[in-house]
Amino acid sequence: MAILSKVELEKIGEELIQRLERIRQAKGMSKERFANAVLGISSPTYYRWVGEKLTQLPLKRLRELERLAARLERELEGKRT
């Protein structure tokens, strides 16, 4: 497994937050409801992620969130077809 630089981790986090925000908006959910119901986290945690670009999360957690985002995107695509 490659070791990623801080800049690479920040880029992954920034792109992930953008994906999660697109998913949240497509679902028509508030940030609070999306955080609680979909991500299983508190709304302050979600706001912190959005504000801080997920820089404090370990790579393993970022990868878990990427998998979740991919699944949610597939679900949204299935509803559009």
- Give the C-alpha separation, 7 to 47, whole Å: 21
Take residue 44 and report the two structure tokens written for it.
């302050």
**Which pLDDT score, from 0 to 100, does residue 2 have?**
62
Q: Which residues form the domain of 29? A: 6-80
CA 54 to chain centre: 9
Identify the CA nearest to 53 among candidates 20, 5, 4. Answer: 20
Mean pLDDT score of the chain, rounded to an integer?
87
Q: How many domains are there within the chain?
A: 1
pLDDT, mean of residues 18-46? 94
Instruction: Tell me, yes or no, whether 46 lies in a domain.
Output: yes
**Which pLDDT score, from 0 to 100, does residue 11 have?**
85
- The answer on pLDDT for 19 being more than 70 is yes
**Which pLDDT score, from 0 to 100, does residue 58 have?**
81
CA 51 to chain centre: 12
Instruction: Tell me, yes or no, whether 1 lies in a domain.
Output: no
